[in-house]
A and B are shown apart, each in its own frame.
Chain A
């Protein structure tokens, strides 16, 4: 085991030579290009901001650098020499530490134990027996821990008993406690209070002064100014620009991230808009009144009518998917009421939701939507098998195939046969099948959770078309999306969520308005969703 973490020498590179130099790095998953030929340089003593929307490829880049994902192509040079980062251990040995966004702590171990996990200190004659030097380890982190507001008690109890915020702090200390050349911070300030953020920032400056290179991912643009030396923006897995923050404003950065300015010019999205619109009576389909689910949701009230698309905006963790789970019956509210067609309703499970006319297109397609080993046909009919069964008892293969074929041709799924396994399809086609699965139940309401995540541009337009068609035929839709232009384009109304509550509801200017107005609306949404972090 590695016990000499301090003996690791940090070769000081010439000031202008990058510590880490990434060239043409790509990561391709079957059907999805997560990262395409991205170049990035991390210089010593530099805080390098990494920006991009969800699915822009930030996590993939970080995972490659921290050794949890191996790139499909490209080279990584560290201090000038080409290196392979195959495992997290490799990354650590090369001096790259990462604070991951998801909890990467063992919940049953204490803070100290977690901080030194894999790099425990064994001193003196204990080398032979492998007895840990707990005292030494505690002393070493104590100062850091105190500065981050962890008490002596906090570092002695299992981290599971600490609460989300302190767990996050432990992760940061875990990365700071060791000699690192490169520190990767994946949204390190999410969930931190203001003074804690400032403590962290002062640490980051301190580390920069020591010549450490920091790669910093954040959603909060205000943080970047005055701290970041360079900013790299990714979009759709591609490098958009590497810029000097001095010449940028929050607005120009947002524009780079979401490609707002280019949105109107994106001719490749063949968006016919909604051809006719729904002409029937716009009855209310679902209404939530003061729905609370501790600790995720607080007093959520919203409603959707027939022929209407409600957008849910907000940053990751704002409670959008959690709201969907309550409507779908996958989670039960602690308080508040749900009305379906203006009548109070209790939704017990997704199965119950289906019977009540609600369907859901899940966020994580691979893990929560597709049944990989099933054929397209079976993926469609699984949502309501009794529809293809004779007397509700025996599946009728012929009818099933016919149904699937109808959906495949209606929705334009590109496949040779409905018997093809869904996991062999591209992301966009998989998504269409998942939508077909929802349509098959003939629902009144479909909740689309990040419906275009990780699918190509052409497929995006087709997904929009499917959403429009559904509402034009009298359906109601809730669309959750982190891509603002998409949300503005698709929705009739947009509810903005932040930290489990709805902080505002805006009429969408819609698709026909001028691009400038759309941009203004976008700024307002961003402002609401990030606690006014970006000046409107």
Chain B
């Protein structure tokens, strides 16, 4: 048995508990669901679950992309706006008479381009990640406002689009958005766990220096992450346009915070290198469940934003508390094994924390 105990960096230690999305979050969810059935019996009905799944699709798609970006030690604040803009592109092109599939592709393409622009600002101009994506948030929203001239795009809905938007079930069984989300989740999960680029995403997030020393292009990997995040936002936007039946200039506002919260309570960490697809799915479900429960309980939708923000703060708080206890535990263990190799000086550790 090894007598050498690990002294991983603080940032890494922090994530220990939450990195296992199976444990705490699921228990919390089950408890929450049980509690809700007492408050409102309709909560457990099949119809409501279908409803929740259909609702969760948007946050899920965004959380998917956000998780990838977070793994690569980035952050994408622009997803809400990009989602709105992509919805606008699809709706507008259909109104212009473009054939339906092409219009959808154009919407997704818009998301990909926004993601690429984010990546260029970050890797080429050296803007901090959140400033670049914050600028993109403002620009994408502004473009949509200008373009719609403040009034929603309407009358683009077609029967096909109802299908794509999930208003009608495919063959009366399941909606297309759910299928898309499930397929994408599986694909991304495989990509993260099995593929080369997945491995490199974790490496870049875990230690950019180690990745660079191993000959990995950190910029290329980051670019990939932002383009995927943009693409996910584009896809979510295209579906949202079909769901909402009109594209208001404010469509998608505030979704970035939902996506970030979902990704973080699902175990992704701002310090990079952490996060899994299961976590993002559970995170998105949690957020949607809470929103749904609040709806059923008759809480006005205005409260949702407040609650999401508080959940995010609580998640961070929990993070730190876990870290604190884990740290104490580690140092207690170390006392039992006296022969320790000295580790490098950690002088500035307390300086910046």
- Using a CB–CB distance below 8 Å, which chain A residues touch chain B? 1-2, 66, 68, 87-89, 92, 98, 100, 102-109, 113-114, 117-120, 122, 129-132, 134, 160-166, 191, 294-296, 298, 317-319, 321-322, 325, 330-331, 334, 362-363, 368, 499-500
Q: A317-B342, A322-B345 are in contact. Are A106 and B207 (CB under 8 A)?
A: yes
Would you call B199 and A117 a contact (CB within 8 A)? yes
Chain A positions within 8 Å of B350 at CB level: 330-331
- Using a CB–CB distance below 8 Å, which chain B residues touch chain A? 2, 4-9, 12, 190, 194-197, 199-200, 202-203, 205-207, 209-216, 273-274, 331, 334-335, 338, 340-348, 350-351
Would you call B215 and A164 a contact (CB within 8 A)? no
Would you call B214 and A117 a contact (CB within 8 A)? yes
A312 CB → nearest B CB, Å: 13
Would you call B194 and A109 a contact (CB within 8 A)? no
Could you say which of A2, A89, A321 contacts B345, with CB atoms under 8 Å apart? Answer: A321
Would you call B334 and A294 a contact (CB within 8 A)? yes
Chain A positions within 8 Å of B351 at CB level: 330
Chain B positions within 8 Å of A318 at CB level: 342
Chain A positions within 8 Å of B202 at CB level: 106, 108-109, 113
A91 CB → nearest B CB, Å: 9
Q: A106-B206, A109-B206 are in contact. Are A165 and B341 (CB under 8 A)?
A: yes
Would you call A334 and B8 a contact (CB within 8 A)? no
Smallest CB gap from A321: residue in B: B345
Would you call A68 and B195 a contact (CB within 8 A)? no
Separation of A130 and B331 alpha carbons in the complex (Å): 41
A458 CB → nearest B CB, Å: 29
> 13 A-B Cβ contacts within 8 A?
A2-B215, A102-B344, A104-B210, A107-B206, A109-B202, A131-B194, A132-B194, A162-B6, A295-B343, A296-B346, A331-B347, A368-B348, A500-B342
Would you call B343 and A296 a contact (CB within 8 A)? yes
Q: A164-B341, A295-B334, A298-B338 are in contact. Are A108 and B195 (CB under 8 A)?
A: no
B347 CB → nearest A CB, Å: 5
Separation of A134 and B196 alpha carbons in the complex (Å): 10
Q: A1-B196, A132-B199, A317-B342 are in contact. Are A330 and B347 (CB under 8 A)?
A: yes
Would you call A88 and B6 a contact (CB within 8 A)? no
Could you say which of A108, A117, A295 contacts B205, with CB atoms under 8 Å apart? Answer: A108
B194 CB → nearest A CB, Å: 5
Q: A106-B206, A108-B273, A109-B202 are in contact. Are A122 and B335 (CB under 8 A)?
A: no
Chain B positions within 8 Å of A317 at CB level: 342-344
Would you call A104 and B196 a contact (CB within 8 A)? no
Separation of A165 and B206 alpha carbons in the complex (Å): 19
Would you call B348 and A89 a contact (CB within 8 A)? no
Chain B positions within 8 Å of A499 at CB level: 341-342
Chain B positions within 8 Å of A298 at CB level: 338, 340
